[in-house]
Amino acid sequence: MASSLNPLLLCFLILCLPSVCVFAQTSRSNIKVGDSFTADGNNTSWVVSPSGDFAFGFQPHKNNSFFLLSIWYANIPSKTIVWYANGDNPAPKWSRVQLTDSEGLKLTYPDGRILWAPENNPSGSVASGSLNDSGNFVLHDETSNSVWETFKNPKDTMLPSQTLEKGEKLSSRRSEADFARGRFQLVLQDDGNLVLHSVNLPSEYANENYFETGTSGADNSSRGIRLVFNKSGEFYVLRENNDTYTFSSQSFPSPSQFYLRATLNFDGVLTFYQHPKGSSGTWTPIWSKPDNICNAKLISEGTGICGYNSICRLGDNIRPNCTCPQGYSLLDPDDPYGSCKPDFIQGCKEDELSQGKDLYHFVELQDTDWPGSDYARLEPFTEDQCKRACMEDCFCAVAIFRAGDICWKKRLPLSNGKYDTSLNGGKALVKVRKDDSSLIGPPGPPIIERKNQDTLILAVSVLLGSSAFLNLVLIGALCLGLSSIYQFKKKLKNVYRSDSAVESNLRCFTYKELEEATNGFKEELGRGAFAVVYKGAINMGSAVNVAVKRLNTFLLQETEKEFKNEVNVIGQTHHKNLVRLLGFCEDGTERMLVYEYMSNGTLASLLFGDSKPNWNLRLKMAFGIARGLVYLHEDCDTQIIHCDIKPQNILLDDYFNARISDFGLAKLLNMNQSRTHTAIRGTKGYVALEWFKNMPITAKVDVYSFGVLLLEIICCRRSVDTEPENEERAILSDWAYDCYTTGCLKALVEEDQEALDDKNLEKFLMIAIWCIQEDPTLRPTMRKVSQMLEGVAEVPAPPCHNPNSVTTDHYLSLTLDG
């Protein structure tokens, strides 16, 4: 019987062994040199603490497209992260972390390039690593001594058993979901004072402290030496004389019953939290510092707790809420804690053009102030005098009236805005333009109603003093004159008729004028699906070269639609990277547009010609196109999506400045509208994939097209090559991504005599790959793209580009207009 059971027992053990091994692998708390772990989106934990409270590995970030190398609470549903390595550079899928003897921890991209490594490397003495029950990941040498640990390299959170020494700091995240470095810091200064302050990113300049413990001490013995979060859950500053500065008089919860953490939140509030163990409860704040961050000490050289022109008000959770005053809106709709911009244009020039007009009114806000933004104090002054003084001052954006007779005038941008009941009824008088608009050109002609009245009075006088026969003659002449005026106005109205108002600063040409200007439409500059462009010269004070776009009249409906789009879109835009519209013609069935002439042709002729332009010129053009799109997407009264960004629609002026043209396919959005559904528009090779998926169309379609265009600028070749020498190079975006992942960047510019250095080539290639992401939510805005191009913002590693969303055969067979 025993011998018959042994084989069964052996089989049972063999069958169970794999699962036992897997369990051991996923729950181990130690690793050794050579061990590695890959971000594949399946198993997230590399190591787990012996108690199972903490895990170390990859947490999904940004819709599972990226990952954070991090430590988190493993036993609560929220998986709260308490330490992270690569907040500024989330890792794309298939990135790998490895423990090496020479570098300690090393996080690499899928192609092996280093993404992150500790700043204070343990320098070749690493033998193993372990995650302990306090949540501290420690690297050991061969004698088991600690050579590096996460507790000594904190991010935004401290845990029981952790200390903060002089010079060490906590840094907040950029937002709740963005783990990039934020604006706020908790620092134990060399003088022993523990302080909270903001930093003016991207520099290291620290503003005044908005909270401090005051533990610098009158003598050395009372100075703080470290911030302590002990095993018992007590949180205090330890002084040299062993006295302590405690943050709260409340009794501390027991670490045996609660998880405890102290976190510097993204909004600058240091908060102590508790979460019941073995429960599905939530994190509960116990205390916060400062008690009211909106009323904390002002920041004179930064944006304040909330952004510029915003107002901070403490919420029920003792955390700040930021709002924009009436007439203002968020600069970045996705950042509720960011700056606010006026929804109108105010300035001395605009006010000067409207002299005598009642342009503004005041929005009154009780118990509201922007301290430190004033430039004039008027005292004694009544409230009416305060309003009048601000109304008559083109610099004044807000007036503050307080204490019954004091008036402060303030100019933009306003900082440290706050709601404060201690102001005892003080008012903020926000000056807002009544019509939410600004003057684009000089004021129109003076109203002539009075002149008409005078003429009528004169006519009546003549009639009363004349003979009956003469009266009949005069009445007949008057009727004839009125009829002629009516017919003229009717004709004039037909000339200017369109679905939207045509800008008054555009000149209306007759067909005959443009026929003469172009010498009978003789010299053709180019043609498209809906129009032919001719060169001409017009006398506008002096002879001016122009490009006359004559729309095809046989496509009347499409022609009319495109004509009205161009007139109404370009007529309202003014930017150095857009082609300027000088006038139009709407004469009978003829529809023509008159532009300033661009002497150096199109970007396509420059990029795809026999010789390649130098890098400085190409980059200058990329920067200019990006700035032009930022203007269209964010700075116009009506957001404009161009929908057809391609080299043929980028013109070059006398100085080779890039100018965006051809707005016939443009889609206009209202300021409160961010997306639309519309029929497919664009040109093959430059069209974002959402056009094919019946998805809402946003400004991100222009970002996609710009990404393709940027690749063409980098490589000086077309986005789609129907007869490539190598089939894998047919679609430029796919080939460029292959070169990026394999590190063969030089293949993209192999024929360039003056190629960029590898670092800058990789940077611009990464920006392009960001732009052509299949998921439009992953694409940056054009403002972010512009900042990355110009080196103002860092360029993180892009996620995987999916070349299989639209097959190559389908992509090449598209027959869109263009």
Q: What CATH number does the domain containing 646 carry?
A: 1.10.510.10
Supply φ then ψ for residue 328, to 5 degrees. -125, 155
The residue assigned the tokens 């002026």 is 653
Is residue 462 scored above 60 in pLDDT? no
Per-residue pLDDT of 177-188, as tens digits, reads: 889 899 899 999
| 2: in domain | no
| 11: in domain | no
Q: What CATH number does the domain containing 204 carry?
A: 2.90.10.10
| 18: in domain | no
The pLDDT of residue 136: 95
- Looking at mean pLDDT, say which of 16-20, 128-132, 353-357, 812-816 comes out highest: 128-132
Residue 473: pLDDT band with limits 50, 70, 90? low
Please check whether residues 86 and 133 belong to one and the same domain.
Answer: yes
Mean of the pLDDT values across residues 600-609?
A: 88
Please check whether residues 562 and 488 belong to one and the same domain.
Answer: no
- DSSP lists the bridge partners of residue 547 as 535, 595
Q: Which residues touch 216 (CB under 8 Å, ≥6 apart)? A: 189, 191, 192, 193, 223, 224
**Global model pTM greater than 0.75:** no
The pLDDT of residue 731: 85
Lowest mean pLDDT across 339-343, 445-449, 588-592:
445-449
Please check whether residues 321 and 236 belong to one and the same domain.
Answer: no
Please check whether residues 532 and 481 belong to one and the same domain.
Answer: no
Asked if 664 and 790 count as a contact pair (C-beta separation under 8 A), the reply is no
Which residue, among 766, 583, 580, 547, has the nearest Cα to 663 in the 3D structure?
A: 580
The residues annotated as belonging to the active site are 644
Lowest mean pLDDT across 5-14, 314-323, 326-335:
5-14
Lowest mean pLDDT across 261-265, 389-393, 505-509, 556-560:
556-560
Per-residue pLDDT of 4-26, as tens digits, reads: 445 444 444 444 433 333 333 34
Please check whether residues 170 and 237 belong to one and the same domain.
Answer: yes
* CA 474 from centre of chain: 68
- Looking at mean pLDDT, say which of 34-48, 282-296, 378-392, 485-499 comes out highest: 378-392
Six token digits for residue 632:
């269209």
Is residue 357 scored above 90 in pLDDT? no
Six token digits for residue 308:
């510029």
The pLDDT of residue 94: 87
Please check whether residues 630 and 776 belong to one and the same domain.
Answer: yes
Residue 566: pLDDT band with limits 50, 70, 90? low
Residue 751: pLDDT band with limits 50, 70, 90? low
- Determine the Cα–Cα distance for residues 570 and 377; give it in Å rounded to an integer: 43
Strands (E) across 520-637 are located at: 524-527, 531-539, 543-551, 581-587, 590-596
- Determine the Cα–Cα distance for residues 267 and 251; give it in Å rounded to an integer: 26
The residue assigned the tokens 């789009």 is 565
* Count of structural domains, the chain: 6
Mean of the pLDDT values across residues 383-403?
A: 91
Residue 765: pLDDT band with limits 50, 70, 90? very high
Please check whether residues 141 and 218 belong to one and the same domain.
Answer: no
Asked if 407 and 381 count as a contact pair (C-beta separation under 8 A), the reply is yes
Per-residue pLDDT of 102-151, as tens digits, reads: 778 999 988 888 899 887 766 668 889 999 999 999 999 888 888 899 99
Q: Report the Cα–Cα distance between both ends of the chain, in Å, rounded.
A: 85
Mean of the pLDDT values across residues 305-325?
A: 87
Please check whether residues 587 and 607 belong to one and the same domain.
Answer: no
Q: Is 155 annotated as a binding residue?
A: no
Six token digits for residue 94:
């298939």
| 807: in domain | yes
Asked if 252 and 232 count as a contact pair (C-beta separation under 8 A), the reply is yes
Task: Mark which of 291, 319, 353 sits at the end of a domain.
Answer: 291
| 790: in domain | yes
The pLDDT of residue 43: 78
Per-residue pLDDT of 276-303, as tens digits, reads: 987 777 899 999 998 888 887 655 556 6
Per-residue pLDDT of 424-457, as tens digits, reads: 778 999 999 886 444 333 333 333 333 344 444 4
Instruction: Tell me the pLDDT of the chain averaged across its residues.
Output: 79
Q: Which residues touch 589 (CB under 8 Å, ≥6 apart)? A: 553, 556
Q: What percent of the chain has pLDDT over 90?
A: 29
| 41: in domain | yes
Six token digits for residue 122:
């343990």
Asked if 160 and 151 count as a contact pair (C-beta separation under 8 A), the reply is no
Please check whether residues 543 and 660 belong to one and the same domain.
Answer: no
| 5: in domain | no
Here the contacts of 714-718 (C-beta below 8 Å, separation 24 or greater) are 714/618, 714/748, 714/749, 714/761, 714/764, 714/765, 714/768, 715/748, 715/749, 716/607, 716/608, 716/612, 716/613, 716/618, 716/752, 717/608, 718/608, 718/685
Residue 626: exposure state from Cβ atoms within 10 A (0-12, 13-18, ≥19): buried
Mean of the pLDDT values across residues 244-254?
A: 83
Six token digits for residue 744:
């063969």
What is the secondary structure of 142-164 as a DSSP string? TTS-EEEEGGGS--SEE-TTEEE
Residue 157: pLDDT band with limits 50, 70, 90? very high
Asked if 680 and 691 count as a contact pair (C-beta separation under 8 A), the reply is yes
- DSSP lists the bridge partners of residue 194 as 188
Is residue 487 scored above 70 in pLDDT? no
Q: What CATH number does the domain containing 570 carry?
A: 3.30.200.20
Mean of the pLDDT values across residues 64-70?
A: 86
Range of the structural domain that residue 490 is part of? 449-496
Please check whether residues 785 and 700 belong to one and the same domain.
Answer: yes
Per-residue pLDDT of 216-231, as tens digits, reads: 876 667 888 999 999 9
Task: Mark which of 118, 153, 188 sits at the end of a domain.
Answer: 153
Residue 671: pLDDT band with limits 50, 70, 90? very low
Mean of the pLDDT values across residues 84-113?
A: 88
The pLDDT of residue 101: 83
Supply φ then ψ for residue 82, to 5 degrees. -115, -15
Asked if 731 and 725 count as a contact pair (C-beta separation under 8 A), the reply is no
Q: Which residues touch 698 (CB under 8 Å, ≥6 apart)? A: 641, 674, 675, 676, 776
The pLDDT of residue 492: 41
Please check whether residues 374 and 463 belong to one and the same domain.
Answer: no
- Looking at mean pLDDT, say which of 456-465, 495-504, 567-576, 677-686 comes out highest: 567-576
Is residue 737 scored above 60 in pLDDT? yes
Lowest mean pLDDT across 99-113, 210-224, 415-429, 560-574:
560-574
| 760: in domain | yes
Task: Mark which of 291, 324, 357 sits at the end of a domain.
Answer: 291
Please check whether residues 804 and 674 belong to one and the same domain.
Answer: yes
